[in-house]
Structure 1
Amino acid sequence: MAKHNADTDFVFSKDEELKAFRDMLLIRRFEERCGQMYGEGLIAGFCHLYIGQEAVVVGMQMTIGEGDQVITAYRDHGHALMTGMDPKAVLAELTGRMDGISKGKGGSMHMFAPEKGFFGGHGIVGAQVSIGTGLAFANKYRGNDRVCLTYFGDGASNQGQVYESFNMAKIWDLPVVYIIENNHYGMGTSVERASANLNLSQRGLSFNIPGEQVDAMDVRAVRAAGLRAVEHARAGKGPFILEMLTYRYRGHSMSDPAKYRSRDEVQKVKNANDPIDRSRARILEHGHATEDDLKLIENEVKEIVAEAVTFAKSAPLPDPAQLYTDVYA
């Protein structure tokens, strides 16, 4: 992978800027529609929305190639879309339909498409970190140059298996990039109340794993830091930690009233630091597109989401006999 100069790290071409804008907008509109469908009773169970954090997965997907792997936690709809899953299949899964990516049996928390390099959303806090480390071990064992992006949140960063994974990853210099999506709040409390050390990028210091904090409300900054981390791992130098400083606008899940923060706090972030608004402003400032051009992109995204909704609503429910298939015993 080519070396990058600090002065040019943050520069996007016209095509890159427009693609990032479209991808972030697709996640945003998809998740907003999921929230509505949950309220309508069309999506059941746990449902964790990615609204506000779109720049993280969009920027990181710009740093990897075919054969690289992605694994994350239960806030996984955006990751599913960005690894190339059909929005129709993702929404069908959310609504428990046979045409869903996991035959309607996994739902919101368990998207899975290894053929696209996506090894799942995982419902157990921190469990995916060990699995992602195992994927990186497999890459090293096979002697390929593949890298595994392993996502987890600020809450999961305090889990024991995370540190066991760090230790093994560094002992064997495994090609894994650990991406901590620090949206400032776990399930019901702030990171300040739950973590003794608030610089999560330094969690690997005792294992000699380098880390970096990233302004993850700027997709360009995510891509720039991601390129450095992925290059480090792919070159055989071992794991790297990226702490993505981001923000979620909705509650931890659909059942979370988010009373641990004020509406003013959320609105302030939306007004001053929204990743999609920042991208839009740059596009217009640099003359990459006009307002009319961006409206066409917005209409295209709305149509994709609308088609996914129609598909999911009309897709068949699993036959009761399917209850006994796809189980271990």
Structure 2
Amino acid sequence: MLGFYRDMLLIRRFEEKAGQLYGMGLIGGFCHLYIGQEAVVAGVHANALPQDSVITSYRDHGHMLACGMPPDGVMAELTGREGGLSKGKGGSMHMFSREKNFYGGHGIVGAQVPLGTGLAFAHKYKKDGGVCYTYFGDGSVNQGQVYESFNMAQLWKLPVLYIIENNKYGMGTSIQRSSSTTELYQRGSAHGIPGTQVDGMDVIKVRDATAEALEHVRGGKGPYILEMLTYRYRGHSMSDPAKYRSKDEVSKVRSEQDPIDNLRQMILSTNAADEATLKAIDGDIKAIVTHAADFAKASPEPQLSELYTDILVEA
């Protein structure tokens, strides 16, 4: 529980700092924060093996941190600096790490789903025992390429875990207004893909549901779908005032379902740790995030010559 608390708090504080830097003009372009959804990636990644791979959409900072990518490099990339993980050329939505088997952040809605299916094909082809964790949102589930991917993955029994982060709003449109069926975990049923709906605000439930799904996938039975019922506290991106939902709605979720606050209460009520221990963790996380921001500010902008690097690979 303490590990989960630390992981989720790092994502929360990192994203809060990213929001501040965006407001200061140090982060440009689009910036999609993960605040409120931390339990999903923390619980899922608790089951990951070194050979597994991860791919997600543009709301990707939390996934990078969960994969172990250094906060300094992530923050520097957000600010477009040379010390960033993509040398300042990818920004918020397009960051990668071959070392951590993290294959992006992708700005095109749903585009990561066929790519994740391809990564799963590579795992099977190489016989390395890996699984591709392919994350996408409720706004992506109506894309045609998602169902083409489902068909191929089930046909070839590919080791892919499809994780739908259902935060109830695709940009500004509620799922009730955009989807004829809102039980998204059933979307693979036409292809014979099993699925489960999970309380994505409870990190323990996420971990346990993921472990069960992975037994199916690692057992050579093909893909599995996990629909994580979660919620984002901020707008779709930093430029979104989120006027399509009431303040009372957001406040109610924060007060009753916040994944970090609820885990904190669980830790204290079960005597897993005391207030002093949690306070020390809070201090450590604050120092890590402050250092990441300072590193990003101090890192120089990339040289113009970087425009011509990393654009062609000869294989």
TM-score (norm 2): 0.98
CA distance in 1, matches of 2:276, 2:39: 23
- Using the TM superposition, name which of 138-147 and 179-188 deviates more: 138-147
Gaps of 5+ in 2: none
User: Is 1:318 the equivalent of 2:298?
Assistant: no
CA-to-aligned-CA distance 1:196-243 (integer Å, 9 cap, x gap): 100000000000000000001000000011001111111100000000
State which of 194, 208, 222 in structure 2 corresponds to 1:210: 194
**Structure 2 residue matching 1:73: 3-state secondary structure:** coil
CA-to-aligned-CA distance 1:22-41 (integer Å, 9 cap, x gap): 00000000000000110000
CA-to-aligned-CA distance 1:160-198 (integer Å, 9 cap, x gap): 000000000000010000000000001111011011100
Contact in 1 for aligned 2:32/2:59 (Cα 8 Å) = yes
Contact in 1 for aligned 2:51/2:128 (Cα 8 Å) = no
User: Is 1:116 the equivalent of 2:100?
Assistant: yes
**C-alpha RMSD over aligned residues:** 0.9
Report the AA paired with residue 46 of structure 2.
Answer: M
**Displacement over 4 Å in runs of 4+:** none
User: Is 1:158 the equivalent of 2:139?
Assistant: no
CA distance in 2, matches of 1:324, 1:235: 44
**Structure 2 residue matching 1:131: 3-state secondary structure:** helix
Report the AA paired with residue 255 of structure 2.
Answer: N
Equivalences, count: 313
**Structure 2 residue matching 1:214: 3-state secondary structure:** strand
**Which residue of the partner structure matches residue 74 of structure 1?**
58
**Structure 2 residue matching 1:241: 3-state secondary structure:** strand
Gaps of 5+ in 1: 1-16
User: Is 1:299 the equivalent of 2:302?
Assistant: no
CA distance in 1, matches of 2:163, 2:212: 13
Q: Displacement of 1:109 after TM fit?
A: 0.3
Q: Displacement of 1:321 after TM fit?
A: 2.1
Contact in 2 for aligned 1:146/1:175 (Cα 8 Å) = yes
Report the AA paired with residue 269 of structure 1.
Answer: V
CA distance in 2, matches of 1:144, 1:290: 42
CA distance in 1, matches of 2:191, 2:155: 8
User: Is 1:186 the equivalent of 2:170?
Assistant: yes
Contact in 2 for aligned 1:232/1:238 (Cα 8 Å) = yes
Contact in 2 for aligned 1:64/1:230 (Cα 8 Å) = no
State which of 256, 261, 276 in structure 1 corresponds to 2:240: 256
Contact in 2 for aligned 1:95/1:107 (Cα 8 Å) = yes
1:1-329 mapped onto 2 (5 Å cutoff): 17-328=1-312
**Structure 1 residue matching 2:161: 3-state secondary structure:** strand
Q: Displacement of 1:143 after TM fit?
A: 2.0
CA distance in 2, matches of 1:112, 1:172: 27
Q: Displacement of 1:144 after TM fit?
A: 2.5
CA distance in 1, matches of 2:4, 2:84: 26
CA-to-aligned-CA distance 1:126-184 (integer Å, 9 cap, x gap): 01000100011111112231111000000001100000000000000100000000000
Contact in 2 for aligned 1:152/1:181 (Cα 8 Å) = yes
